[in-house]
Amino acid sequence: MPDLYLNTHQHHHAVHVTLVGPLNARTAPRLRAELNPHSSTRVQLHMRDCTGIDLDGLFALSLAHTAAAEAGGSLDLADVPPLIAHYLHDHHADHLLEPPSAEQP
């Protein structure tokens, strides 16, 4: 099973994290560790190269989304592959796919 690679860059109004590989039970802790220090900021998670997701990956995204909201930040998913978007929809996690609100810089 391939590893998860994360590339993090600070941009003007957000932290951009590019995810490459599967988001599953084995890799979810790495994603949480990467996102945790940025929970009070706007994070845009680019998922174009996400090769798959399971319930543990979905749970990690949901927890990170909630933690960011509680800390005054946000987690916005970008470039979500259609199959992963379908998986999120099937598991009632559509709220993770919603675009950021207009009030954010």
Q: Each residue of 1-45: pLDDT tens digit?
A: 469 999 999 988 899 999 999 999 999 999 999 999 999 999 999
The fold of 5-97 is Transcription Regulator spoIIAA (3.30.750)
- Cα angle 45-50-54, degrees, rounded to a multiple of 5: 100
Read off the amino acid at residue 89. H
Q: Where are the domains of the chain?
A: 5-97
| Separation between Cα atoms, residue 57 and residue 27, nearest integer Å | 8
What phi and psi, each to the nearest 5 degrees, are found at residue 51? -90, -5
| Full-model pTM | 0.88
**Residue 6 in tokens:** 């994360």
Name the one residue in this structure whose structure tokens are 């199959």. 83
Confidence (pLDDT) at 104? 46
Average pLDDT, the chain: 91
